[in-house]
Amino acid sequence: MQKAVPQKVINNRKPSVGRTLYQNKTLIIMCIPAIIYFIAFSYMPLPGIYVAFVNYNYRAGIFGSPFIGLRNFEFVAKSGKLWMLTKNTILFNFAFIILDNLLAVVVAILLKEIQSKMFRKVSQTMMFLPYFISQVLVGLLVFSLLNSDTGFLNVVLTRLGMTPLRLYKNGDAWPLIIILVHLWQKTGYNSVVYFAAIMGIDDSIIEASMIDGANGWQKIRHIILPSLRPTIVILLLFALGGIVKGDFGLFWNLVGRNPTLYQKVDIIEMFVYRATVSDFNFSTASAVGMYQSLVGFVLVLTVNTIVKKIEPDYSLF
Amino acid sequence: MKKFFALLLAAMMVLGICAASTAEEITTANATDVWAEKWADVDTSEHVVINYMTTGDAPTMGANAEMLAKLNERLTEVVNAEINIVWISWTDYLANYNLRIAAMDGSIDLIGSSTDWLDAWPNSKRGGFLELSPEMLQKYAPVTYATVPQNHWDVCTWNGNIYFIPEDNYSQWTNHGFIYRKDWAKEAGLENGCETWADLTTYVKYVKEAYGDKLIALWDTDGTAYPAGGYICSFAKWRSIDGLASGAIWGGYLDDPYKINCLYLEETDRLVEYAKLMKEWDEIGVWPTDVLSNTGADNRLEFRQGKTALEQHHTQTWTGIVSPKASTDNTMYLDDEDADAGFYYWGKEAGYVTRDLVTHGVAAVSAASKHPERTLMVYDMLRNDKTCYDLFNYGLEGRSYAIDENGYRYTPDTYVADNDSISTNWWWGRNDDLEIPSSAMNWDEINALYDEYDKIAVMYPYEAFVFDNSMVQSYINQCNETYNTYMKYICFGQYDVTPEEMVAEFQDALRAAGVDEVTAELQRQIDETYNK
């Protein structure tokens, strides 16, 4: 008893950093690869952002090159397209994030409900496959399906006596096509995270609800969806950080160099690529990257604050 | 004054004789002693590997390894060095090329470059290339230094420093135009082939009708070649300043080249004419309906195989197509004994072509090279030593090539490309003094065209001009982006408004992108350079 009192006093004091580290050593050892990764690839290169403000010379290096202020940012700003490009990029990503997660949750729940293990595995694999197809090939596949002269769709339409669709001559349909292709490619992969989360739900809760008379829909509505909420919120928050960064591979390979199409679906990356491909310049590229990161950072902070107000447990920090 | 000129002339002649004799000594097969004498006071005790970087896909088969082994024997004997080729494959070559130079890790020494199609000047200015002093060149690349005239060194100089060595003693023409089927043009009633744009239109109409079903397309292009400038310059004597952007937007008329303007603002009428003509070509069906997304095609190969009827590129490419034996891909000659390839070059109607820049191919030394001296020595040998030259350009004698009684190069009967071919993409140090003409080439037709060029060729007027782009690069980027966008509409008739409206929209977009600011800055610097 006498010994217990000082023990309690010690516990009330804030433990030293060393002690905390020691106490959590297993956890920390497990985190080391991730910590090294972030230090090496996210924190150590941070001073390199300075390259966006210099006229980079290979021999002088980043910090020895002449400082030129914001001139590297000029070319995007001067284009007069910055707002349009940012808006397009954000809207596309917004559509991707919402639809990705929505569809992934639906697919994960459907998979969970499939009774035949064999059928579940087969359908999961088939949905997963497109994720591994290179976007260059996806671009060619879509062209083979939709082109005017020999495309599958138009051959069928012509044979049926209908007017062929000149999709590569009109940009209107492309936002939809891009979103569909994106979903086709990514849904299988995205659903895995949610499927894992569903598998992590304690079976006894579901069993209890069944005993209480819950039907399938009620089970999903009141047990599975609420259990998925933290996963959904965290994935959304992560995704928002990159909302100003477009999926260059997808857009470039689908609409590529065809201005008739990209006028409708131009995103920051495509414009930067087109404008700078003949001017190999680290500094302007970094300037654009920095702009995207800053906007992303502000967005994450804002959304995190909102989430914190509504549901403090789900916020990132 | 007279005396001065007489002295100058005498001095030049003496220098000329010296240069000629040096070149001659070296061109003989076993010039080891001559080289040894030149580098008697250079320490070559350490054996080094010189990494030579070139654009192109590394050969996966053939005799490269054996050729390099022989070459390295020779290089080791004379300069105690060997060469290793670093390939920058064609996919995204420009970005990867620049990236490799920017890495500055000492992994490359000798760099093949160009001021018009590879970023020789940007890389010089950004510190990627080593400054080469005349003393250094004289000591380590003595033969090259003696044979390149001072005015050619001048065009490789910026801020008082020489940055690269020009491939200035190699005859080639890289002026652009359309390659077409001359036999089909004759069938269309064009006895002399296509001599005007009107002839080209007659030709495509005929071919579409007569052969349309048999061809993949008349021109299976991906919509990234823009002959608009070529069309205008077929009538107007105008020349672009190379190396500013991928689009040839700025330049001047040949009668007053230092008055800078933007071609597409100056020549509205001709641009409208061209836009109309291309709309007509689109309706004829010269290219696939979805031309702007037709990225999977390889029109040149298809042309060689007789599956298309037009190819847009330069004279040098045409020389390889008009010569049936120059490539195993040229199967159109096997399938059709009448097959023949003609060339319609931009400027034909106005009667002029511009000679190639001496900096169309240049060699530079990486600023991060650990052995710049030895790099220059190796370059000097590759360019001037007969043994090295033959190995590096033609391969193994008896296997990769043989020489006939007339002194022409030919492929021996035993030749199998997979075993005996070599590839070095050495486009930065070829030398007419050592070239062995190939018997596979159709010299009758090629020389006829070269003779025609020689009569009408003019010099590129901006060779001494190196543009400092730092103040206007963002405008150049904008203009280039605008150019690339609108050229696709105009050059392939992909627009629904009238040609006049299309051109006006393009011009407005160019102005909004800052074309006038760039013109003004170019004018200012041109005036400085040429002391106007």
Distance, in Å, from the CA atom of B9 to the CA atom of B15, rounded to the nearest integer, reads 10
Residue B26 has pLDDT above 70, yes or no: no
Distance, in Å, from the CA atom of A254 to the CA atom of A250, rounded to the nearest integer, reads 6
Residue B65 has pLDDT above 90, yes or no: yes
Query: Does the residue B427 lie in any domain?
Result: no
- Please list, in sequence order, all residues whose beta carbon lies within 8 angstroms of the beta carbon of residue A296, skipping any fewer than 6 positions away: A240, A241, A242, A243, A244, A245
Q: What is the 3-class SS of B6-49, one letter each residue?
A: HHHHHHHHHHHHHHHHHHHHHHCCCCHHHHHHHCCCCCCCCCEE
Same domain flag for B200 and B255: yes
Which DSSP helix (H) or strand (E) runs through B448? helix B443-456
Which stretches of chain A sit within 8 Å of chain B by CB? Answer: 55-60, 71, 74-75, 78-80, 139-140, 143, 147-149, 166, 168-169, 255-261, 271, 274-282, 284
Q: In which domain, by residue range, is B88 found?
A: 21-171+358-420
Rounded to the nearest integer, the mean pLDDT of chain B is 90
Query: Does the residue B484 lie in any domain?
Result: no
Express each pLDDT in A229-268 by its tens digit. Answer: 888 888 888 888 788 888 899 999 998 778 888 878 889 8
Q: What is the pLDDT of residue A15?
A: 76
CA dihedral sign of residues B270, B276, B279, B281: negative
- Cβ(A300)–Cβ(A240) under 8 Å? yes
From the number of C-beta atoms within 10 Å of its C-beta (0-12, 13-18, 19+), residue B341 rates as buried
What's the token pair of residue B286? Answer: 């010269």
Distance, in Å, from the CA atom of A64 to the CA atom of A85, rounded to the nearest integer, reads 33
pTM (two decimals): 0.80
**Cα B202–chain centre separation:** 30
Confidence class for position B532, pLDDT limits 50, 70, 90: low
Express each pLDDT in A20-46 by its tens digit. Answer: 889 999 999 999 999 999 999 989 988
Q: B452: domain CATH number?
A: 3.40.190.10
Average pLDDT over residues B192-211: 96
Same domain flag for B150 and B38: yes
Which of A141-155, A295-309, B150-164 shows the lowest mean pLDDT across its residues? A295-309
Confidence class for position A277, pLDDT limits 50, 70, 90: low
Query: Does the residue B517 lie in any domain?
Result: no
Q: What is the pLDDT of residue B388?
A: 95
The total of other beta-carbon atoms located within 10 Å of residue B221's CB is 22
Contacts of A258 in chain B (CB under 8 A): 223, 292-293, 488
Express each pLDDT in B464-500 by its tens digit. Answer: 888 888 788 888 888 988 998 999 999 999 999 999 9
Same domain flag for B133 and B182: no
Q: Provide the 3-class DSSP secondary structure of residue B110.
A: strand
What spatial distance separates the first Cα and last Cα of chain A, rounded to whole Å?
40
CA dihedral sign of residues B118, B121, B127, B130: positive
Q: How far is CA B241 from CA A3, B171, B265, in A?
A: 90, 21, 16
Same domain flag for B395 and B309: no
- Which CATH number is A78-314 given? 1.10.3720.10
Same domain flag for B149 and B84: yes
Amino acid at residue number A222: H
Residue B1 has pLDDT above 60, yes or no: no
> How many domains in chain B?
2
Q: What is the pLDDT of residue B27?
A: 54
**Which of A58, A75, A260 is nearest residue B127 as measured by Cβ atoms?**
A58
- Cβ(B237)–Cβ(B464) under 8 Å? no
Same domain flag for B290 and B389: no
Residue B107 has pLDDT above 80, yes or no: yes
Same domain flag for B353 and B406: no
Same domain flag for B236 and B373: no
Q: What is the pLDDT of residue B343?
A: 97
Residue B130 vs residue A293, higher pLDDT = B130
Rounded to the nearest integer, the mean pLDDT of chain A is 86
Q: What is the pLDDT of residue A1?
A: 41
Same domain flag for B156 and B194: no
Scanning every residue of chain B, which has its alpha carbon at the shortest distance from the alpha carbon of A270? B481
User: Mutation test of the interface with chain A: which of B219, B292, B293, choosing the one with the most A Cβ atoms within 10 A?
Assistant: B293
Express each pLDDT in B336-384 by its tens digit. Answer: 999 999 999 999 999 999 988 889 999 999 999 999 999 999 999 999 9
User: Mutation test of the interface with chain A: which of B289, B484, B491, choosing the one with the most A Cβ atoms within 10 A?
Assistant: B289
Residue A278 has pLDDT above 80, yes or no: no
Same domain flag for B157 and B195: no
Query: Does the residue B8 lie in any domain?
Result: no
Q: What is the pLDDT of residue B8?
A: 47
**Which of A55, A80, A259 is nearest residue B485 as measured by Cβ atoms?**
A259
Within chain B, what is the greatest distance between any pair of CA atoms? 73
Same domain flag for B403 and B365: yes
β-sheet bridge partners, residue B110? B52, B365
Scanning every residue of chain B, which has its alpha carbon at the shortest distance from the alpha carbon of A146? B290
- The distance of B212 to chain A (nearest Cα, Å) reads 14
Residue B105 vs residue A273, higher pLDDT = B105
Same domain flag for B107 and B28: yes
Query: Does the residue B526 lie in any domain?
Result: no
Distance, in Å, from the CA atom of B223 to the CA atom of B207, rounded to the nearest integer, reads 20
Residue A3 has pLDDT above 50, yes or no: no
User: Mutation test of the interface with chain A: which of B117, B213, B477, B517, choosing the one with the most A Cβ atoms within 10 A?
Assistant: B477
